[in-house]
Amino acid sequence: MDNPFYGRDIVSIKDFSRDDLEYLFSKTDRFSENATGDSQMLRHKVLGLMFFEPSTRTRLSFEAAMAALGGISLGFSEPTLSAAEKGENLSDTVRTMGQYADVLVLRHQKEGAAKFAAEISERPVINGGSGSEEHPTQAMLDLYTMKKEKGTIDELRIAIVGDLKYGRTVYSLLYALSNYAPKVYLISPPPLKIRREALLQVEDKIEISEHESLDDLEESLDIIYVTRIQRERFPDPQEYERVKGSYRIDLPTLEKKGKDVVIMHPFPRADEIHPGIDGTRHAKYFNQIFNGKLIRAVLLGLVLTKDFE
Ligand code: NCD
């Protein structure tokens, strides 16, 4: 199969098929087996980072990935450090970055920002999070982690728990999973249910059901994907006060949900995972963080070079 990522924008995970994702995962397996830490595949290539919203893992993993391949990164990690603070529009910022960088990563508070940037940019644009819309590279590393931990994505029973209304990682995850055949349980307090338009897009493709609490499920689970309440996206602070602290994964949850259940979380976390879980073999969130660097390194390699090995 020809490299399906070469020269492409990564705006929505919906633009990528199961075959594309599997291509990325097998390249990532190969890369992690062979990585000696001194690859020069992206020597002289430049990654341009434009972060209009806070980030720890997405930005650092892209930087670490670029460094691992011999490339360099430049950019800004908050808008007050760019001319956006002086009123520069997004279009001029994106075009400027394209003069210096070969590929751009944009994180922005507005839905549609990554799509807009991709339309005007002559360089490939990777969406590092667009409002509450999508976070496609997070879904890539999430599925890769699931596959690594469980050997497959088909047949898995996956609960996605938390802020399903505003969490952009949830949307990309759900769209990505709809290429496979898992059973998905969406668990949230009623005010944080998944947005209907997304459910309509996936409900004919995968088995999916909605619940208010993990306790409502009889079945054991393979994966519990926990998310943080996206406080900054609530239009009304009182709405946030009503739902905060309304769910938590603790040690009894693990016992009830099966001896091999894996706990994932895109991070950052607030208090939705009991700290006692960190030391158990169920906790895989730091593996996700590690896999994020691998996936993003391979993705950058594939976007920038036709024959990335
Ligand atoms: C997430 C994000 O920014 O959407 N973080 C991440 O990139 N792993 C999740 C969040 O902020 O809750």
- C-alpha 124/C-alpha 300 separation (Å) is 10
- Concerning whether 169 is annotated as a catalytic residue, the answer is no
Query: Binning pLDDT at 50, 70 and 90, where does residue 37 land?
Result: low
User: Using an 8 Å Cβ cutoff, are 177 and 147 in contact?
Assistant: no
Please state whether 75 falls in left (phi above 0), alpha (psi between -120 and 50) or beta.
left
Instruction: Tell me the average pLDDT across 114-136.
Output: 98
Domain-wise residue ranges, the chain: 13-133+289-304, 136-285
Domain 136-285 has CATH 3.40.30.10: no
Q: How much is the pLDDT for 34?
A: 81
Query: Does ligand 1 come within 6 angstroms of the Cβ of 228?
Result: yes
Query: Ligand 1 pocket, 169 CB below 6 A?
Result: yes
Instruction: Report CA torsion sign: 232, 234, 236, 240.
Output: negative
At residue 233's C-alpha, the angle toward residues 231 and 236, to 5°, is 80
Question: Same topology for domains 13-133+289-304 and 136-285, yes or no?
Answer: yes
* Position 35 pLDDT exceeds 70: no
| Ligand 1 site-directed mutation target among 58, 164, 169, most atoms within 8 Å of CB | 169
Contacts of 185 (CB under 8 A, 6+ apart): 157, 158, 159, 160, 208, 209, 210, 211, 217, 221
Higher per-residue pLDDT: 6 or 219: 6
Is residue 35 left, alpha or beta, with left meaning phi > 0 and alpha meaning psi from -120 to 50?
Answer: beta
Q: What is the mean pLDDT of residues 67-80?
A: 95
DSSP 72: E
Q: Note the pTM of the prediction, 2 decimals.
A: 0.97
Determine whether 231 is an active site residue: no
Tens-digit pLDDT profile for residues 237-248: 999 999 999 999
8 is catalytic: no
Which one from 8, 123, 135, 257 is the annotated catalytic residue?
A: 135
Return the ∠ at Cα 205 (arms to 293 and 268), rounded to 5°: 30
pLDDT digits (tens, 9 = 90+) for 151-182: 999 999 999 999 999 999 999 999 999 999 99
Residue 81: the pLDDT is 86
Please work out whether the CB of residue 129 comes within 6 Å of at least one atom of ligand 1. Answer: yes
Q: Which residues, including other chains, have CB under 8 Å from residue 85's CB and lie 6 or more apart?
A: 79
Decide: 135 in ligand 1 pocket, CB within 6 A. Answer: yes
Q: Which of 45, 59, 107, 165 is catalytic?
A: 107
Atom of ligand 1 nearest to the CA of 266: 8
Decide yes or no: CATH 3.40.50.1370 for domain 13-133+289-304.
yes
Place of tokens 């030391």: 279
pLDDT of residue 36: 64
Per the prediction, the chain carries an average pLDDT of: 96
